[in-house]
Amino acid sequence: MLVKWMRCTVVDRRGFERGQRKWAELLGEPGFRAQSGGWSRARPDVAHVFAFWENRAFYDAFMARGHERLAGDQSGTYTDPQVTLFEHRFDVKTGFEPCFTDADVVRVAHSTVREDRVEHFALMQEKVWNPAMAGSPGMLRGVFGEAPGHEFLVLSMWQSEAERGKYRPASAARLSARAETETDVEALTGDVVRLEPSWTV
């Protein structure tokens, strides 16, 4: 499965949201699984969009054929778009499906990992972080993806912002030390995204 993550700074919120709803036309596209997104909790002018495709071939075919027509509806409504494609490596929790209807927030963590630490980083995600997240109240499901350049995405869906807030910084620091995260990671950024139900396709 291919995971597309797009984030941008929105300068025309109403126009952007109007254009976002038109992505409902993705339904029926060969290989399309789901799309949703919302607003950054930390920076209210930043939007995140997450899309899921069966594989890169289906995605590339859509990009060549239908993307520009849909994207054109949002032209001029945002700046600084950043798009990264990740290949699904494994689930966080089990049986991941790109379903957003029962989630209120998405937590996104983006890491650039040192080349010689990639396999250790992935192993620690599987053996240390995943069990901790899977056991957290309100954590529904998630996905761990990899992009060229030793980039990794951990995308987790939560029932509510309050439930995600129970995932305490103190326990995260303890887990980070156990996983040797500082040794593995060159750069780490994250955000909490309030989902907009009208963006879900």
Average pLDDT of the residues in 73-85: 95
Given this model, what pLDDT does residue 42 score? 94
Given this model, what pLDDT does residue 165 score? 61
Q: What percent of the chain has pLDDT over 90?
A: 78
Domains (range + CATH), the chain: 2-199 (3.30.70.100)
Average pLDDT of the residues in 140-156: 96
Spatial distance between the Cα atoms of 200 and 119, rounded to a whole number of angstroms: 33
Answer whether residue 4 shows pLDDT above 60: yes
Q: Write the CA distances from 59 to 51, 65, 89, integer angstroms.
A: 10, 10, 17
Answer whether residue 68 shows pLDDT above 60: yes
Given this model, what pLDDT does residue 48 score? 98
pLDDT tens string 86-107: 999 999 987 899 999 999 999 9
> What average pLDDT does the structure give for the chain?
92
CA angle, 181 then 42 then 34, to 5°? 80
Could you tell me where the DSSP H helices lie in the chain?
A: 13-21, 56-65, 67-71, 118-124, 130-134, 161-165, 169-179, 181-184
pLDDT tens string 155-186: 999 998 765 665 555 577 888 888 899 999 99
Given this model, what pLDDT does residue 172 score? 78
pLDDT tens string 102-145: 999 999 999 999 999 999 999 999 999 999 888 888 899 999 99
Beta bridge partners of 195: 38
